């Protein structure tokens, strides 16, 4: 009996060892599969990040290589000259650069305060039944193709401005020293002011949507505490909501500015496409993207094509500087916040 009992104990122990061994093997297989999947995911994400860098590097190299003939021919004078004569092959980028910066500044000057006010209205003051229709309408503005904005601006908006707003600005500020230059000349309807207003409409959905999302992320207890100590709605927005959400707000503004700097078709329709620098906002002008869109298919000769590619390189550098400055500003804000 003792021998049989010992034999059964040994058999049970062997069975337990076998089960443990099988379980360990299965667990090892599962861990190997998870480890392999994690390594594949890590390499895939790394390849995606490297691919983006390679793509960006390829764009930079192509722009630099294509713009070298124009930069070698004109040198630094390409940036400060307003001449643009394809017949004599004399090119300067000052007028497109000036138009790009002025129209973008007008757009952001209008879109940022209006977008912030609309976002705060939707999050704090708007009735619940009206909040969704307004939000959908703003999002639909972002989905309208830019060429539709251009057609509307050329046939509807520009004639309206020519008959109403531009004569009013000329009569109001025409005799004011310093400001008169900004609104001098005849009311053409098209021009840099019209292009800036169209860009403001196009940028508004981006600023509003992102600002609304970050405003909704502000803890309700902070706003309730401010209202509890007697703050007005403006004081809550100025001292509570904006400081808490400023990182997201700046990100939305920079996103809108990037859209304004690179917009092509809508601006091409309404800016007038004149290669000149004028102090008047009512005068026709041009932008970098509009110049490239208008003339690239008609460019004859290597120097003409190289000058247009050089404009693209300048636009790339301007956009990079703007985004880098925004990123530096966000880093400083984050460090100050802690």
pLDDT at residue number 240: 87
* Rounded average pLDDT over 156-183: 88
Angle of CA points 246, 200, 126, to nearest 5°:
60
* Domain positions in the chain: 1-73, 75-337
* Rounded average pLDDT over 194-215: 91
Topology adopted by domain 75-337: MetI-like fold (1.10.3720)
Q: Find all residues with CB under 8 Å of 16, minimum gap 6, and list them.
A: none
pLDDT at residue number 297: 81
* Rounded average pLDDT over 10-14: 48
* Rounded average pLDDT over 47-62: 92
Chain centre to alpha carbon of residue 233 = 29
pTM for the model stands at: 0.84
pLDDT at residue number 223: 86
pLDDT tops 90 at residue 227: no
User: What does the mean pLDDT of the chain come to?
Assistant: 85
pLDDT at residue number 10: 45
pLDDT at residue number 1: 47
For 84, phi and psi rounded to 5 degrees?
-150, 90
Q: Find all residues with CB under 8 Å of 213, minimum gap 6, and list them.
A: 248
| Residue-wise pLDDT tens digits, 295-335 | 888 888 889 999 999 999 999 999 888 888 877 877 777 77
pLDDT at residue number 11: 52
Sign of CA dihedral 274, 279, 282, 286: positive
Chain centre to alpha carbon of residue 238 = 24
pLDDT at residue number 173: 86
């Amino acid at each position: 009996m003792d021998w049989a009992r010992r034999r059964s104990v040994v058999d049970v122990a062997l069975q337990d060892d076998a089960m443990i061994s099988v379980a360990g093997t299965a667990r090892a297989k599962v861990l190997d599969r998870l480890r392999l999947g994690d390594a594949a995911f890590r390499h895939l994400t790394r390849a995606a990040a490297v691919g983006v860098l390679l793509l960006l590097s390829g764009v930079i190299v192509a722009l630099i290589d294509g713009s070298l003939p124009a930069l070698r021919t004109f040198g630094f004078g390409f940036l400060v000259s307003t001449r643009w004569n394809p017949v004599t092959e004399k090119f300067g980028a000052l007028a497109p650069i000036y138009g790009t910066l002025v129209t973008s500044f007008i757009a952001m000057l209008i879109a940022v305060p209006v977008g912030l006010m609309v976002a705060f209205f939707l999050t704090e003051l708007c009735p619940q039944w009206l909040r969704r229709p307004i939000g959908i309408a703003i999002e639909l503005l972002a989905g309208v193709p830019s060429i539709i904005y251009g057609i509307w601006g050329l046939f509807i908006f520009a004639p309206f401005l020519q008959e109403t707003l531009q004569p009013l600005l000329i009569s109001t500020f025409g005799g004011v020293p310093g400001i008169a230059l900004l609104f001098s000349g005849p009311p053409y309807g098209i021009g840099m002011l019209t292009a800036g207003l169209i860009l403001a409409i196009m940028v508004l959905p981006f600023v509003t949507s992102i600002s609304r999302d970050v405003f909704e992320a502000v803890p309700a207890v902070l706003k309730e505490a401010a209202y509890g100590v007697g703050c007005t709605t403006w004081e809550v927005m100025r001292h509570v909501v904006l400081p808490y959400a400023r990182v997201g707000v700046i990100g939305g503004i920079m996103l809108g500015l990037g859209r304004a700097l690179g917009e092509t078709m809508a601006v091409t329709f309404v800016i007038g496409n004149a290669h000149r620098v004028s102090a008047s906002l009512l005068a026709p002008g041009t932008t970098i993207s509009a110049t490239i869109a208008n003339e690239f298919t008609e460019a004859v000769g290597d120097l003409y094509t190289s000058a247009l590619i050089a404009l693209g390189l300048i636009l790339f550098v301007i956009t990079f500087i703007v985004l880098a400055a925004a990123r530096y500003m966000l880093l400083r804000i984050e460090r100050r916040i802690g």
